[in-house]
Structure 1
């Protein structure tokens, strides 16, 4: 494959592409050939990183429920085996479990690969890579793709040991819950918890964790892996997906609902009355759980969190809110940086549901976050309290809107920078309040006429400028949006 073809597969710190036909206008570019040569290049990259001969490496490989997962996994196994790597086939797995395969003493792999495209449509797939330091960085993926240029597909004799990683991972989470609740072998007895796995890889959370610990899980749904995703998109941010888990909670009178994305590195929750706990609220809930153990600590979030979250974290929990950049690797790396500098930061979390704890290897792990919430639920019930009480002081969301302006020119990055520069200059000239922003331009409105905020930024990868607007009272969002549109007047290469 040519360099241009391969480099198009890079999506930040992951590899993603179209892996099968099925959607008009989308041509296949992530083939078994690509998976094979990329795996070969990863072997060479990992050998250099570890300082070990390729033949001394052990690499684990897993996949989610996507229909192209097995073919891409087999191709990657063949590519690794052709280099002399010892390959362990973990079968159906999750992204967090594949990182933990490097940590668990029973496995201690040198590196691992997860075949997944997270929440994307059924025709997409991808590869995520891990080494002892966690998920690879953007520049690492570029180096691996460049290293695959010119390589040819290799198969030969394929050797891969089978290993039930998901059971080992589940046992780790079971142990965590038992330690957190400290109430015998069935610490979840008396609790009704329903799970929506969206036909991804998260169904194990019911059979291997909740059921084992005594929870009643009747009403859990879409637990069987099915890469056609027949019920809803496996994405906690998707409206239909959230409606599905809300309905399951209400119908079964559950104490808690949990919903995962396809590869279980993201999650959201639902309270007994059907209230969704996602975006700002899921960050608030996890922060409230951690606050007693980490007083005065710093919570890292992406840039689109709201002013109401800042108020809750700082005024109600006594924490600090560091509103950083979009991108789960960005918030995780910032969390690592602060802790290294001696600034305690127990949590890095995006509104998308990606959440990483300092005490869990800075790993964005939806199942581990769910475990922390389940522990909090059990402990709250034992004290005669509710899970909802942890975030009862979080102001309700009144109005929120996101517009995505297309940048209609080839050099969209430079044009986006020009828009942001002028947008900021116009806001400054008008005397508007602009809090410190690590990406884009954020404006805060706290007058009697309008209360809320807006954020204009560039997309991480696409020729798009998202505009997020939030109003604190009915009608405020419309007024703030009008201000934004006035500040954007005259940019002829932007369109809705």
Structure 2
């Protein structure tokens, strides 16, 4: 019947199907979502995983059972769902487990206008109400099943008017037109672009978004397949970029783009086949947005390179540093009216996209910038890559708090250093900084370090890891 306490995370719902997340749980979540939000209508979309369709249908049964109209957008990316929520003014749910392995699935929930839901802003209430509905359902833990022991699993959650309906609506063309309307690509030179969809939803959205652009597209793994037969749809792992890097070199392409399973993240490879830091992309898009909105605010999380706030300030913008996580980024963007925000994880957020993130919109900005210049991508981005970064390094620890305390004690009081606790522990020194954050779901500490050069960064990284792993 699902394991609601386990699958409801800080920002979404995610678990193994069917052991932790099944159709019965999805139906209860659908009913609870409508009740908690008081929603008369909502929109749903799903990725290509085999379990996504049945879970979405079960969720819709729960929602319509509470009298809501469900607009079913069918197959789509997470940012297509955000487009639907924003353009239709409806709360929405995306069925996806993003970059997680095939046996997982989940839900990303938002209020109308693509406003995110987190544990602090409604997700906990949805979880608790869904648990109540499951407990009182036929065959649930609060009631003995009678007759066929499997019959209860086929019955819906109790209550509600049952008068809602499902309306199917194709939103892909509208989504593509909206994205192209946000970036001027009319004057760009012809570009050779390789896209690795990883058998995820970019294989569904990229052809429509790129249609009519002066782009020679080389598709890799555009066939939708939730079993991910070629490689995991997680571009943050270097091994998953190998095929893209090779194709860029083989084709003499100008740029390579890699998307995760639900296509909300976009990773970039330059013409040399070299991976490009998301901090450089954040800085590039920030400069473009500041040209349109002089003096505007730009959001960056505390893991992005220090080059980002420097470049934003140099171009007359106001950099604002936030915690890691899309709900924090979106909330701070709404609070400050920021025009753009970027994360080290290749999530990019836009005010003119309802403060939501879109990997394809970031990709269009990159293509526009590159297409306006007669220089290679590596040259164009050289000024945005100022420092050496470690990337994110995970360490398993027995006691997260005690380990962080040991690291703090080792650095506090050193001449020229400072600390802050915005998100985990950040320590800054002359020409370097590092951040150490606990995972919310695993016994891990995540280290990110940056230095003026590779030698300094490595020294800082290794010293911190020696303490963490001792």
Alignment-derived partner of residue 58 in structure 2: 75
Q: Is the 8 A contact 1:288 1:391 kept in 2?
A: no
Secondary structure of 1:149's match? helix
**Residues 1:361 and 2:360 aligned together:** no
Alignment-derived partner of residue 210 in structure 1: 210
**Residues 1:174 and 2:197 aligned together:** no
Once the two structures are overlaid, the 10-residue window that deviates more, 249-258 or 397-406, is 397-406
Deviations 1:365-424 (A, max 9, x none): 11221222222233x14xx45555543212355452544333425xx5xxx1x5445543
C-alpha distance in structure 1 between counterparts of 2:391 and 2:364, whole Å: 31
| CA drift at 1:193 | 2.0
Quick one: structure 1 residues 208 and 465, their matched pair in 2 at CA, closer, same or farther if it must change by over 3 Å?
A: same
C-alpha distance in structure 2 between counterparts of 1:284 and 1:269, whole Å: 14
Deviations 1:166-203 (A, max 9, x none): 222122223344xx1345xxxx6722222111111112
Alignment-derived partner of residue 105 in structure 2: 125
TM-score by length of 1: 0.82
| CA drift at 1:86 | 1.6
Secondary structure of 2:448's match? strand
Q: Is the 8 A contact 2:204 2:224 kept in 1?
A: no
Quick one: structure 1 residues 154 and 322, their matched pair in 2 at CA, closer, same or farther if it must change by over 3 Å?
A: same
C-alpha distance in structure 1 between counterparts of 2:91 and 2:54, whole Å: 20
Show the 5 A alignment for 1:418-437: 418-421=402-405, 423-434=407-418, 436=420
Alignment-derived partner of residue 136 in structure 1: 117
Alignment-derived partner of residue 128 in structure 2: 146
Secondary structure of 1:457's match? strand
RMSD of aligned residue pairs (Cα, Å): 2.7
**Residues 1:241 and 2:243 aligned together:** no
**Residues 1:439 and 2:423 aligned together:** yes
**Residues 1:484 and 2:464 aligned together:** yes
Alignment-derived partner of residue 377 in structure 1: 370
State the number of aligned residues.
Answer: 444
TM-score by length of 2: 0.86
Q: Is the 8 A contact 1:300 1:347 kept in 2?
A: yes
Q: Is the 8 A contact 1:12 1:461 kept in 2?
A: no
Quick one: structure 1 residues 72 and 157, their matched pair in 2 at CA, closer, same or farther if it must change by over 3 Å?
A: farther
Deviations 1:96-124 (A, max 9, x none): 211221333xxx25322110111111111
| CA drift at 1:76 | 1.0
C-alpha distance in structure 2 between counterparts of 1:276 and 1:479, whole Å: 23
Quick one: structure 1 residues 402 and 354, their matched pair in 2 at CA, closer, same or farther if it must change by over 3 Å?
A: closer
| CA drift at 1:36 | 0.8
C-alpha distance in structure 2 between counterparts of 1:272 and 1:403, whole Å: 27
Deviations 1:340-368 (A, max 9, x none): xxxxx322211101111122210111122
C-alpha distance in structure 1 between counterparts of 2:79 and 2:296, whole Å: 25
Q: Is the 8 A contact 1:324 1:437 kept in 2?
A: no
Alignment-derived partner of residue 443 in structure 2: 463
Deviations 1:137-191 (A, max 9, x none): 32311100101113135189995222112222122223344xx1345xxxx6722
Show the 5 A alignment for 1:96-495: 96-104=79-87, 108=88, 110-133=90-113, 134-139=115-120, 140-151=122-133, 152=137, 153-154=155-156, 159-177=165-183, 180-183=184-187, 190-217=190-217, 219-315=218-314, 317-339=315-337, 345-378=338-371, 380-381=372-373, 384-385=374-375, 387-395=377-385, 398=388, 400=390, 402-408=392-398, 416=401, 418-421=402-405, 423-434=407-418, 436=420, 438-446=422-430, 451-484=431-464, 488=467, 495=469
Secondary structure of 1:216's match? strand
